[in-house]
Amino acid sequence: MAEEIIIPGYKRWLVSIGDQVGFLMGFFRNLFAGGFEWSEFVRQCYEIGYRSILLVGITSFIMGVVLILQLRPTMVAFGEASMLPKTLAVSFVREIGPVIIGIICAGKIASSIGAELGSMKVTEQLDAMEVSGANAVQYLVVPRILATSIMLPVLAILGDLIGLFGGFLALNLRDVISFKLYFTKVIASLDFSDLLPALVKTIFFGFAIGFVGCYKGFTSNRGTESVGIAANTAVVTASLWIFIIDAIAVQITSLLFY
């Protein structure tokens, strides 16, 4: 059972910050400590990545369709309908795709990790691991955070492709554009400075999702209610972190590339 310290007011916030820093250091210490749990890592990649494909695919497809349908009247009014593939590609790959996929994954993955580890805490499985001398952080936390950090960029790439394909179908509802021409325009409009920052920030999104989910699960209280609270706060906190990381990433990208 983790120590439950009853602290009033603002001190609790400071203690929480200290706890999170300690948890983060624990992650890095165990990451490089050896004895990496490959089988658990692969299992988590499957759970986190493969099992999110459908949700990410549907969401991205709808976003691609909706963006084209929303953009088209304005672009046509300005006589720039031919710019629709480029507009969609740049906005989707740079910003909309990573953020939407990040938020979707925060909802699905952070809540799932928070609830899973929270219920392990409630049912004393985390205590059992600790008391047996096993390293719960190495077995449970390191593979999950690494899996989210690696699978988020993969999901983002997949989501971008599906979203752009959705845009192609939507464009063909009113206009006629060949698949080849559409994707030639899309590829021509994207360069290194669009792709790399978008990919790098999804790694940080994934890290935030995994870290927040694990931390909330590990630090949840006793009782079934706390499992729900852990899942809920994991989603809210991870979503907030995605916007914060995105804002920072935009600033850094602007300084480096534009």
- Which residue ranges make up the site for other proteins (CB under 8 A)? 1-4, 6, 120, 123-125, 127-135, 139
Nearer to other proteins, 129 or 229 (CB): 129
Nearest Cα neighbor of 93 from 176, 186, 220 is 186
Q: How far is the CB of 232 from other proteins (least distance, A)?
A: 22
Q: How far is the CB of 169 from other proteins (least distance, A)?
A: 40
Q: What angle do CA 105, 202, 70 make, to 5 degrees?
A: 70
Q: How far is the CB of 134 from other proteins (least distance, A)?
A: 5
Nearer to other proteins, 135 or 232 (CB): 135
Burial of 209 (0-12, 13-18, 19+ CB in 10 A): buried
Give 109's DSSP letter: I
Nearer to other proteins, 79 or 133 (CB): 133
Rounded Cα gap, residues 209 and 107, in angstroms: 9
Rounded Cα gap, residues 48 and 147, in angstroms: 7
Q: How far is the CB of 33 from other proteins (least distance, A)?
A: 11
Alpha helices in the chain (DSSP H): 10-31, 38-48, 53-77, 84-91, 97-105, 111-122, 125-131, 136, 142-174, 179-189, 192-218, 224-257
| Whether 208 contacts 236, CB under 8 Å | no
Rounded Cα gap, residues 137 and 168, in angstroms: 45
Nearer to other proteins, 31 or 83 (CB): 31
Nearer to other proteins, 36 or 183 (CB): 36
Q: How far is the CB of 219 from other proteins (least distance, A)?
A: 15
Nearer to other proteins, 142 or 158 (CB): 142
Q: How far is the CB of 218 from other proteins (least distance, A)?
A: 14
